[in-house]
């Protein structure tokens, strides 16, 4: 059996995340659903766990869900992290540039090279490219970093002009790290946030109820530390309605 909460599992929050999972596991057991004692960690590539028939619970991104996983997994629900400027269960990307870059607003970055964590990332790639296209701005792919934190570092070190960081990831980076080397130059439009999924054929409704009950039982301080507000039922159609942008290598060929 596989259970993972890989998206916001910072070392500073490991104890709170483990307590959250322990409560989810108790609530799953109360509903007759077996689950592993501990969370799976350390997978460099997440698609195999998301596609596994052994998956009990994991968190994916909206882009891989609509591009590869829809119809092959069960959508459980979307955790609400109270992202500023977003409806419950929605999020956006924070657009950052180097602190001493003379450009102060996103529209000034036409033609800029953007560091991105993965070409299948909603917040790191699709959101900024879609946001730019809707405003007549052209972004060019820069370095592929492998993570939001690495994209932040790439901008801070001057290896990229711009990056788009998941709003909660940005809040956590700002909480635990020195962000004086970068500045915020904008934010993308909100889209449905990163959903919880389970393997095809599992009882997603019962798992949703277990997660909701676990969040309600979670210590208030742990909820605050995790920025966790609740879980929302966002329909698959809301994820599928978000445009799929060109892949980074396609844009690279055009420039």
pLDDT at position 250: 82
pLDDT at 254: 47
Q: How many domains does the chain have?
A: 2
- Judge whether 76 lies within some domain: yes
CATH number of the domain within which 174 lies: 3.40.190.10
Looking at the structure, tell me whether residues 73 and 196 fall in a common domain: yes
Q: Which of 108, 93, 99 lies closest to 182, judged by CA?
A: 99
Q: 145 and 25 share a domain?
A: no
CB atoms within 10 A of CB 140: 15
Q: Is the pTM of this model over 0.75?
A: yes
The pairing of strands 93-98 and 182-187 is antiparallel
In a domain, 157, yes or no: yes
- In a domain? residue 252: no
Do residue 118 and residue 63 come from a single domain? no
pLDDT digits (tens, 9 = 90+) for 1-12: 999 999 999 999
Last residue of a domain, one of 189, 204, 220: 189
Report yes or no: 230 and 83 within 8 Å, Cβ to Cβ: no
Say if residues 141 and 113 touch (Cβ distance below 8 Å): yes
What rounded mean pLDDT belongs to the chain?
A: 95
Question: What would the pLDDT profile of 26-45 be if each residue is shown by its tens digit?
Answer: 999 999 999 999 999 999 89
Q: Is the pLDDT of residue 223 over 50?
A: yes
Kindly state the percentage of the chain with pLDDT values over 90.
Answer: 96
What domain range is 177 assigned to?
93-189
For position 44, what pLDDT does the model report?
87
Let me know whether 140 and 179 are in one domain: yes
pLDDT at 173 over 70: yes
Which among 166, 16, 194 has a CA at the least distance from the CA of 24? 16
Q: Could you say which of 168, 189, 210 is where a domain stops?
A: 189
Query: Do 8 and 72 belong together in one domain?
Result: yes
Q: Residues 57, 29: one domain? A: yes
Note the pLDDT of residue 255. Answer: 45
């Amino acid at each position: 059996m596989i259970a993972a909460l890989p998206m916001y599992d910072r070392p500073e929050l490991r104890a709170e995340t483990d307590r959250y999972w322990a409560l989810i596991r108790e609530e799953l057991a109360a509903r007759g659903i077996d689950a592993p004692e501990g969370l799976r960690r350390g997978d460099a590539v997440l698609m195999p766990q998301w596609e596994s028939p052994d998956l009990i619970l994991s968190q994916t991104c909206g882009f891989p869900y609509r591009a590869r996983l829809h119809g092959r997994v069960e959508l459980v629900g979307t955790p609400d992290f109270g992202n500023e400027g977003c409806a419950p269960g929605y999020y956006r990307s924070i657009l950052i540039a180097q602190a001493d870059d003379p450009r102060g607003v996103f529209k000034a970055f036409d033609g800029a090279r953007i560091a991105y964590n993965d070409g299948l990332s909603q917040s790191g790639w699709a959101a900024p490219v879609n946001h730019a296209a809707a405003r007549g701005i052209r972004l060019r792919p820069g370095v592929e970093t492998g993570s939001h934190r690495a994209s932040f570092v790439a901008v801070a070190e001057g290896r990229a002009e711009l990056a788009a960081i998941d709003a909660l990831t940005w809040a956590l980076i700002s909480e635990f790290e020195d962000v004086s080397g970068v500045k915020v130059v904008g934010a993308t439009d909100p889209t449905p946030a990163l959903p919880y999924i389970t393997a095809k054929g599992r009882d997603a409704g019962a798992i949703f109820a277990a997660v909701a009950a676990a969040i309600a039982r979670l210590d208030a301080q742990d909820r605050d530390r995790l920025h966790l507000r609740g879980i929302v039922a966002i329909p698959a159609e809301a994820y599928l309605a978000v445009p799929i942008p060109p892949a980074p290598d396609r844009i690279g060929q055009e420039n």
